[in-house]
Amino acid sequence: MVRTLNILFILAVVIGAATVYDMKLAATKSAEKVADLQRQIDEERNAIRHLKAEWSLLNKPDRLQALVERYNDYLQLKPLDVKQIVAPEDLPARPVMLEPIGGNQMGGYAGSSATIR
C-alpha cells in the first residue's frame, strides 16, 4: 500500500513539475511577444516623430513662399482676401438630397427625377 502511494506521489510530482515547466515556457513566450510588440510600438513612435518633423519642414512658410513664387505662373495663386474667411454659421445650408425608396420603381416619389431638392 505504501509503495502504491509512493508511486502516486512520484507521478503527482512529475505531473506538477511538467505543468510548472509548461507554464514557464508559456510565460517566456508571452514575455517575448510583449517585448516584440513594445519594440514595434517604439519603432512606430519613432516613425511618427520622423514624419511630424518632415511635415513641419515641408510646411515652413519660407519654403511654401518660394514654391508659390516659383510656380505662380502655372498655378496663378492670389493672396487670400479677408472677406474669404467666414464663420461656419455664415456658410449656406447643405441641400438635402432625397432619394426615392425602392429605386426607380413607381412608389415613394412618382416623379422621374431621382433626387428632390
In sequence order, the 6+-apart residues with CB closer than 8 A to the CB of 77 are: 68
Which pTM does this prediction carry? Answer: 0.51
Scan for cell 416623379, then name that residue.
Answer: 111
Record the cell numbers describing residue 101, joined without a space.
Answer: 425608396
C-alpha neighbours within 13 Å on the C-beta side of residue 96: 3
In the chain, how many H helices and how many E strands?
2, 0
Give the closest residue to 116 by CA, choosing from 93, 91, 94, 99: 99
pLDDT digits (tens, 9 = 90+) for 2-54: 899 999 999 999 999 999 999 999 999 999 999 999 999 999 999 999 999 99
